[in-house]
Amino acid sequence: MSTIRDVAKSAGVSAATVSRVLNNKGYVSEEKKEKIEKVIHDMGYEPNQIARGLAKKTSKTLALIVTDITNPFFPELAKGAEKAAYLNGYSFLLGNTKGMDNHNDDYVKLLKNKYIDGVIIASHDIDIEILKEQENTPMVVLEMDNDIENACTIKVDNYDGAMTATRHLVSIGCRKIAHIYGPQYDSTAKERLEGYKAVIRDTSGLSEILVPGDFTINGGAETVQNLLTQYPDIDGIFAGNDLMAIGVLKKLNQLKIKVPEDIAVCGFDGIFMTQVTNPELTTIEQPIYRMGELAAEKLIFRINHPFYGKESIELKTKLQIRESTRKVNRSDQKKSFSDGD
Amino acid sequence: MSTIRDVAKSAGVSAATVSRVLNNKGYVSEEKKEKIEKVIHDMGYEPNQIARGLAKKTSKTLALIVTDITNPFFPELAKGAEKAAYLNGYSFLLGNTKGMDNHNDDYVKLLKNKYIDGVIIASHDIDIEILKEQENTPMVVLEMDNDIENACTIKVDNYDGAMTATRHLVSIGCRKIAHIYGPQYDSTAKERLEGYKAVIRDTSGLSEILVPGDFTINGGAETVQNLLTQYPDIDGIFAGNDLMAIGVLKKLNQLKIKVPEDIAVCGFDGIFMTQVTNPELTTIEQPIYRMGELAAEKLIFRINHPFYGKESIELKTKLQIRESTRKVNRSDQKKSFSDGD
DNA sequence: CTGAAAGCGCTTACAG
DNA sequence: CTGAAAGCGCTTACAG
């Protein structure tokens, strides 16, 4: 590996001058500049990022902290983020918080010790208070309400999305629509719940049917039995996320309850798996990849514009209609299924 | 952020001595050592990795290069690797090769410019020849035959796994078993194909039914029509990986062909999605998470033992029997399904 | 056992 | 416009 000194020597200038052309900063005569660029090219010289980092307190690397990369929502996010970062000369450190015990603030320490230039937070396991202390670190927070001073928050209009989902179920003829809501420390779960409630409230003849879930496949599945016992005549389920909807689908399938004939099911997120289930799952699609991309772009912008202040971005969701909410003649079906009450 | 000098001053020693206790290297009197450790603790001092890196040509970070983190095989791998790395004080850089055009060797440059300590390769998109040149970089290669001098290769016994899959289909009564094989530049695809062939060859009454696939869901689905036209009486499909098996399942479902009653389906890999399909998919399970963990462990070992030489590790697969290969009375089924020949 | 000095490979005032 | 010098925060021979 050649160093800046090698380049300088070969070009007959000082290291400082080479550094100036490298950073495109300060005056360099056109003549020397060209000479230096040629030498750099010929030698295949690349600046050592570690040395540069030490001098500039910079690393050209970003961190992406997710709950669990194994949750299908995150890989797509990560890919979008990585792509955008990469195009701007940054690389990406990945951190999972789930199953890492109390080590979460170790990730925060890392930010300092490795001069991580900025961080994307997509995990509720990180303590907001700790985050707040890092006010000098450019930060973008995903899908999570927060009162951090100097961060960009990117989320989807969950309230609107949930309304769309619920209205869609109404529109295909569902009249007993249950909602499986996610953990309420998660603001997205909260907003989705509110969206559901709003539609129920504003539509005559409907009433709230609520059951708590934990945003996992198994959690969704476990919910079903409970739901059917209490409300044997439900004809639609709006799950707070796709994972739970997938669990619901599995369970209904085991119970020989037909989707969408007996019960229609709608999820939320738009993860890829929704196209793999049988029947395919109707869902409220978030632009996941785009969110990752945008997060990285906004982050890099903030790196270049420190203390930019608070910013909130809300993206639109899109109703993706699939087999699990195909319109069927519900009055017939309901009769044959619910004979209880 | 306090520096080593702050610690030294506060402990009344030189920076060199502090460095010695930090690195647990060289002699330090017990008395000073204790004093220094106390100061370090009290100040909450943490060594700056960038500075340390520049001095030691080290970064305490690893790179994981995958084809596409969006492929469900990789997140689990990444998680295992990250966990193991994390426990050893390393962090992880993630790189996707797919969709990155010719920029792949940029990843390799990164290794040098950021003093990446070691790299796990899980992508065929990286040129083996380029890899070979990096003989000084500790490296572990996953699921890929290679002749790199100084690397650890970790893979699964694909040949054996494919035999197990094929035999399993035979054991539930299948007699016309097709294999959708993956791209043959991929050594795992090759080995799986060989395993299939071996069983067909050694079992009387069976003959090879082969069709090429591309290891994707859509690719698997597209294969089906073709297969059914040529061999309307097949009663079992062994797909070269789970993704293709999932595609097959979707297509068969669309065609109202029953799994497992008409055709039994078996995949390979053991990705989580196989539990989400309907019916759930029988598969040859690889210990994916463990492979990631092991990869990181071996890599770190190599970082501490440079030029350790070539090493190959082969892990066992496990047949995971699920609904898609439930035993049914095939002679009946076949009749009702294939009326052509 | 310990400290002063040099060095890792850059960048950035400063002086000219 | 350019170079010498100092500095980023560590580590590691070297001398004592």
**Sequence-distant (≥ 6) Cβ neighbours of residue B151 within 8 angstroms:** B131, B139, B140, B141, B310, B311
Q: Most confidently modeled of A225-229, B6-10, B28-32, B160-164?
A: B160-164
Query: In this model, does residue B334 exceed pLDDT 80?
Result: no
Same domain assignment for residues B185 and B198: yes
Between chains, do A79 and B92 touch, taking CB under 8 Å as contact? Answer: no
Task: Indicate the DSSP class of residue A62.
Answer: E
Q: Report if residue A232 sits inside a domain.
A: yes
Residues B183 and B257 in one domain: yes
Q: Please tell me what DSSP assigns to residue A59.
A: -
Is B104's Cβ below 8 Å from some Cβ in A?
no
CA distances, B104 to each of A17, A19, B108, B125, B193 (Å): 31, 27, 7, 8, 29
Residue with the two structure tokens 């699920």: B322
The answer on pLDDT for A6 being more than 60 is yes
Are residues B257 and B282 both part of a single domain? Answer: yes
CATH at A38? 1.10.260.40
- In the predicted structure, residue B339 carries a pLDDT above the cut 70: no
pLDDT at position A282 is 98
Tell me the two tokens of residue A254: 């085991």
Is the pLDDT score of A99 beyond 90? no
Quick one: chain A helix, strand, coil %, rounded to 5?
Answer: 45, 15, 35
Mean pLDDT, residues A242-246 taken together: 97
Higher pLDDT, A2 or A180: A180
pLDDT band at B333 (very low <50, low <70, confident <90, very high): very low
CA of B137 to C1' of C5 (A): 31
In a domain, B73, yes or no: yes
Mean pLDDT of B287-303: 96
* Cα B8 to Cα B18: distance, rounded to the nearest angstrom: 6
The pLDDT confidence band at residue B23, using thresholds 50, 70 and 90, is: very high
Task: Report yes or no: A290 at the B interface, CB cutoff 8 Å.
Answer: no
pLDDT at position A103, please? 64
Cross-chain residue pair B114–A273, CB shorter than 8 Å:
no
- Specify whether B70 is located in the same domain as B143: yes
pLDDT of residue A340: 38
Q: Quick one: pLDDT at residue B73?
A: 95
Same domain, B168 and B214: yes
Mean local confidence (pLDDT), A212-235:
94
**Percent of the residues in chain A that have a pLDDT greater than 70, as a whole number:** 95
Residues 196-225 of A with CB under 8 A from B: 217
A333 and A213 share a domain? Answer: yes
B160-194, pLDDT tens digit by residue?
A: 999 999 999 999 999 999 999 999 999 999 999 99
Note whether residue A248 is domain-resident: yes
Domain match, A186 and A327 both: yes
Q: Test B114 with A49 for CB contact under 8 angstroms.
A: yes
Cα B53 to chain centroid, rounded = 29
Work out how many domains chain B is built from and give that number.
3
In a domain, B65, yes or no: yes
Tens-place pLDDT, residues A297-330: 999 999 999 888 899 999 999 999 999 999 887 6
B178 and B204 co-located in one domain: yes
The arithmetic mean of pLDDT across residues A69-89, rounded, is 94
A227 and A120 in one domain?
A: no
Cα–Cα distance, B322 to B280 (Å, whole number) = 6
Q: Which domain holds residue B71?
A: 61-156+288-315
Chain B neighbours among A 145-174 (CB < 8 Å)?
Answer: none
pLDDT above 70 covers a percentage of chain B that reads: 95
For the stretch A133-151, pLDDT in tens is 887 889 999 998 888 888 9
Whether the per-residue pLDDT at A219 is higher than 90: the answer is yes
B202 and B234 inside one domain: yes
Residue B302 has pLDDT above 80, yes or no: yes
| Mean pLDDT, all residues of chain B | 91
Instruction: Determine whether the distance from the CB of A20 to the nearest atom of strand C is below 7 Å.
Output: yes
Q: How far is B59 from chain A (nearest CA, A)?
A: 8
Residue A293 lies in a domain: yes
Give the pLDDT mean for A173-192: 95
pLDDT at residue number B97: 87
Q: Do A328 and A181 fall into the same domain?
A: yes
Residue B198 lies in a domain: yes
CB contact under 8 A, A96 and B83: yes
The three-class DSSP label of residue A289 is: helix
Cα angle for residues B268, B247, A251 (degrees, 5° grid)? 85
| Total residues found in chain B within this entry | 341
Q: What's the full length of chain A, in residues?
A: 341
Q: At what angle do helices B73-87 and A73-87 cross, to 10 degrees?
A: 70
Please tell me the number of Cα atoms within 13 Å of A210 on its side-chain side: 15
| B4 CB inside 7 Å of strand D | yes
- Asked whether residue B52 is domain-assigned, the answer is no
Q: Residue B74's domain is classified under what CATH number?
A: 3.40.50.2300
| A184 and A118 in a common domain | no
- The reply to whether B56 falls in a domain is no
The overall average pLDDT reported for chain A is 91
Residue B66 or residue B111, greater confidence: B66
pLDDT of residue A106 exceeding 80: no
